[in-house]
Amino acid sequence: MAAKKSGSTNIQKVVIFFMENHTIDNIASDVAGVNGNKALPLAPDVVVPDPPHDHGHWDVRKTPAPGGARRERFSAAQLPNLYKLMNEFTVCDNYFSDYAGNSFPNHCFAIGADAEWAYANPGHRYSVSIATAGVPARLVKAGKTWANYGKGFAFAQYQDPLMHKNAPRDNLTNEESNSQKSGHQPELPESQRIREGQPLPRHL
């Protein structure tokens, strides 16, 4: 999600939400004009079990759940805060997964357009080291700032130290580090909070 739909050219910040393991049909079908599918049945608030994400299960995704993909959608009433953002800003409703498999290769494609033949998530049985610097490193060299607000587990696998600087696992303040360890995120300043029914700020 980036600039407002009004077409403003005075863009100061770009914020991108990657809704991992969800399709547009699943989370954005109630957004006007989006290429979704409102004919899908409503999903439960908590999906159990979580479908596997490996390549083998991608191959059988067209089979009925739970063996294949779940064909359900979340309504605007179920995801009110996310829908506020989607209704106000840009939704990429024809963005597709680059690799039919686990998270890590797709994270690399998203932040650097190259997974260097990685095919699974890093772990004690599979190590990965990405030599090609991603977009964040190029932003730094161009004099721009960036930050990752998710878990950011892909950043640690990059060889370029510029890819580590603003990812949470590598650059936490004491407050942020303690908050993550306790399971709580630092509270946003009053000026950055979005209240129920409050108009969204020009930039997030």
Q: CA-CA distance, 132 to 159, in Å (whole number)?
A: 8
Q: State the distance between the two ends of the chain, measured CA to CA, in whole angstroms.
A: 10
pLDDT reported for residue 6:
55
pLDDT reported for residue 8:
57
pLDDT reported for residue 22:
86
pLDDT reported for residue 115:
93
Q: Over the range 24-50, which residues count as b (16 or more CB within 10 Å of their CB) and which as e?
A: bbbbbbbbeebebeeebeebeeeeeee
pLDDT reported for residue 193:
44
**Alpha-carbon distances of 108 from 3, 12, 147, 152, rounded to whole Å:** 24, 25, 16, 11
Q: In tens digits, what is the pLDDT along the chain, a chain of 204 residues?
A: 444 555 556 888 889 998 888 889 999 999 999 999 999 999 998 877 777 777 888 788 888 766 677 789 999 999 999 999 999 999 999 888 888 888 899 999 999 999 999 988 898 889 999 999 999 999 999 999 999 887 778 998 999 999 988 876 543 444 444 444 444 444 444 444 444 444 444 333
Domain ranges of the chain: 1-96, 103-171
Selection from 54, 49, 88 nearest residue 65 by Cα: 49
pLDDT reported for residue 131:
96
Instruction: Scan for tokens 């840009």, then name that residue.
Output: 90
pLDDT reported for residue 55:
80
pLDDT reported for residue 149:
84
pLDDT reported for residue 75:
96
pLDDT reported for residue 124:
83
pLDDT reported for residue 152:
76
Answer yes or no: are the C-beta atoms of 41 and 53 closer than 8 Å.
no
